[in-house]
Amino acid sequence: MSAGELGLALSVFLACAVEAVEALTIVLAVGTTRGWRSALAGVGAAMLALAAIVAALGPALTALPIDLLRVLVGGLLLIFGLQWLRKAILRAAGLKAKHDERETYAQERRAAQAAGRGGAGFDAYAFAISFKGVLLEGLEVAFIVLTFGANQHRIPLAAAAAAAAVLLVAAAGAAARAPLAKVPENLMKFAVGVMLTSFGMFWGAEGAGASWPGGDAALLAIIPGVLLAAIVMTRAVGRAQPPVAGGEIAAAPAEAREEATVRAWRA
């Protein structure tokens, strides 16, 4: 397996695992509160929809000229990767609240308990919430599977990595019967942001006509470089915590801290 294929499988696996943990929390909350039958039906319907999206778009993407495909995929991965990386840096610097699966689970349970019940049998609320949660979290994974897989004409490999992540998270959730709060989700998001950004740079440059020294082996230098830059940025942002109205930025809400830091950097 080449460095590119290994990076493909690892990136897809980590991204899918993160999204699967978040979807699992929603399904667990709805299932334990309102019943599993309709909740699992929603999960199944969402998985079928995602499989159909991948099956429909995969051949269309692989039919594009390789240079155009690499520029397109590289640009999209940079957009998504930098978004993931930006949020991960802000979380690591303490300027954005970290995702808490226990709190999300409690919120979803309260919402499920407050929703009125329909008639006996099929629970439309449980079906709709599970379907929406899995579909929305899965769409980003489907995008990553399609872009990574189509660029290297290895959609089956990308799909296999995604399936492995889903099965692992589902098995862990079934065994724990609770949200996977101990999974280092924020660290995984940081890693995914680094990987997406690195591959976006690599493939985008290749599509534009650049030639990387060593071919796929150049990823072994690009990924650590992006990681180092992200760590430096995290520390720099963490030190640049300007005061906000009413006290220091550390004591302010996450949104106010983020906005104040952005203003300080622009100044």
Condensed to tens digits (0 to 9), the pLDDT of residues 179-228 reads 676 767 778 888 888 988 988 898 888 888 888 888 878 888 898 999 99
The total number of residues shown for the chain amounts to 267
Confidence (pLDDT) at 259: 55
Distance CA 73, CA 176 (A): 37
Tens digits of per-residue pLDDT, 145-155?
Answer: 887 777 777 77
More confident residue, 232 or 245: 232
Name 168's Cβ contacts closer than 8 Å, sequence gap at least 6. Answer: 17
Q: Which two tokens stand for residue 101?
A: 């699966």
Percent of the chain scored above 70 by pLDDT? 83
- Tell me how far CA of residue 165 lies from CA of 23, 90, 177, in angstroms: 12, 26, 18
Span 39-66, mean pLDDT? 84
Q: Is the pLDDT of residue 261 over 90?
A: no
pTM, to two decimals: 0.70
Q: Which residues pair with 247 in a beta bridge?
A: 244
208 φ, ψ (degrees, to nearest 5): -80, 0
Q: Is the pLDDT of residue 92 over 50?
A: yes
Span 72-83, mean pLDDT? 86
Confidence (pLDDT) at 45: 93
Confidence (pLDDT) at 46: 92
Distance CA 40, CA 81 (A): 31
Q: For the chain, give the mean pLDDT.
A: 79
